[in-house]
Amino acid sequence: MGANVRPTNTLPRAQRDLKIVRRIVILVMILVTICFPYQLFLRMSFCNSTPKHNFRIAFIFGDTAMLCVIMTLFQFTDPLKMSLIKIINRRANMVISAVS
């Protein structure tokens, strides 16, 4: 009887897996796109003809990539996004009583 049992949640599981794969591909594409100049400057630093401020420029691209990844993770993670919205709304609705 165990061989004839078929899972009923095949489609929701496949949709969830596809959603996860899509998110991973988006994160990898962000990192590859933004970190390419970082890798380029890092590899150029081993040569003699490097720009004057190559590490500063590479650091800016690395920070930009991390910022984009953090923003993407906030967008993808629903519980984290909802808790952040609650914190922002709670601080905006604070009532300060007047002392007289």
Chain position carrying tokens 């709670």:
90
Q: pLDDT band at residue 56, thresholds of 50, 70 and 90?
A: confident
Q: Write down the pTM of the prediction.
A: 0.59
pLDDT score of 1 more than 60: no
CA 23 to chain centre: 9
**Secondary structure in 3-state letters for the chain:** CHHHCCCCCHHHHHHHHHHHHHHHHHHHHHHHHHHHHHHHHHHHCCCCCCCCCHHHHHHHHHHHHHHHHHHHHHHHCHHHHHHHHHHHHHHHCCCCCCCC
Mean pLDDT score, 67-89? 82
pLDDT tens for each residue of 14-45 = 888 998 898 889 888 887 887 787 777 777 77
- Mean residue pLDDT of the chain comes to 77
Report how far residue 41's alpha carbon sits from residue 38's, in angstroms, rounded to the nearest whole number.
Answer: 5
